[in-house]
Structure 1
Amino acid sequence: MSQQHFWNEKFSREGYLYGKRPNEFIESCSDYFDRKKGFLCLGEGEGRNAIHFAKKGFDITALDASDIGLKKLEEFAKYENVHVKTKCIDLNEWNPSKKYGSIVASYLHMHKDERKPLFEKIENSLEKDGVFVGEFFSTEQLNYNSGGPKSIDLLYTVDDFLDTFSSCKKIKVEKVLTNLDEGKGHIGEASVIRVILQKN
Structure 2
Amino acid sequence: MTGQPQDPELARAQREHWQNTYEAHPGMYGEQPSDPARYAVDVFRSAGADSVLELGAGHGRDALHFAREGFAVQAADFSPVGLTQLRAAARAMGLGERVATIEHDVRRPLSLPDASVDAVFAHMLLCMALSTKEIHALVGEVRRVLRPGGTFVYTVRHTGDAHYGAGTAHGDDIYEHGGFAVRFFPRDLVDDLAEGWALDEVHPFEEGDLPRRLWRVTQTRPR
TM, length-normalised to structure 1: 0.85
SS at match of 1:140: coil
The percentage of counterpart residues that share the same residue type is: 23
Q: How has the CA–CA distance of structure 1 residues 177 and 57 changed in structure 2, closer, same or farther, with 3 Å as cutoff?
A: closer
CA distance in 1, matches of 2:221, 2:192: 15
Q: How has the CA–CA distance of structure 1 residues 68 and 197 changed in structure 2, closer, same or farther, with 3 Å as cutoff?
A: same
Matched, 1:93 2:98: no
The Cα of 1:14 is off from its aligned counterpart by 3.1
The Cα of 1:81 is off from its aligned counterpart by 1.0
Of the candidates 137, 141, 151, which is equivalent to residue 131 of structure 1? 151
- After the TM superposition, list the runs of 4 or more consecutive aligned residues in structure 1 that deviate by more than 6 angstroms: none
In angstroms, what is the RMSD of aligned CA positions? Answer: 2.1
CA distance in 2, matches of 1:88, 1:178: 29
8 Å contact from structure 2 (residues 36, 123) kept in 1: no
Q: How has the CA–CA distance of structure 1 residues 190 and 36 changed in structure 2, closer, same or farther, with 3 Å as cutoff?
A: closer
SS at match of 2:160: helix
8 Å contact from structure 1 (residues 101, 130) kept in 2: yes
How many matched pairs?
189
One-letter amino acid of the counterpart of residue 33, structure 2: P
Matched, 1:199 2:221: yes
Of the candidates 163, 178, 190, which is equivalent to residue 161 of structure 1? 190
Q: Which residue of 2 aligns with 1:65?
A: 78
Of the candidates 27, 30, 49, which is equivalent to residue 19 of structure 1? 30
Q: How has the CA–CA distance of structure 1 residues 72 and 150 changed in structure 2, closer, same or farther, with 3 Å as cutoff?
A: farther
Q: Which runs of 5+ in 2 are unaligned?
A: 1-8, 175-182
Q: Which residue of 2 aligns with 1:49?
A: 62
Q: Which residue of 2 aligns with 1:183?
A: none
Deviations along 1:26-55, one digit per CA (max 9) or x if unpaired, are 212322214653210001110011000101
Q: Which residue of 2 aligns with 1:178?
A: 206
SS at match of 1:91: coil
Deviations along 1:136-159, one digit per CA (max 9) or x if unpaired, are 111222448xxxx97532122222
After superposition, residues 69-148 of structure 1 pair within 5 angstroms as: 69-83=82-96, 84-98=99-113, 99-108=116-125, 109-113=128-132, 114-143=134-163
8 Å contact from structure 1 (residues 158, 193) kept in 2: no
Q: Which runs of 5+ in 1 are unaligned?
A: 181-186
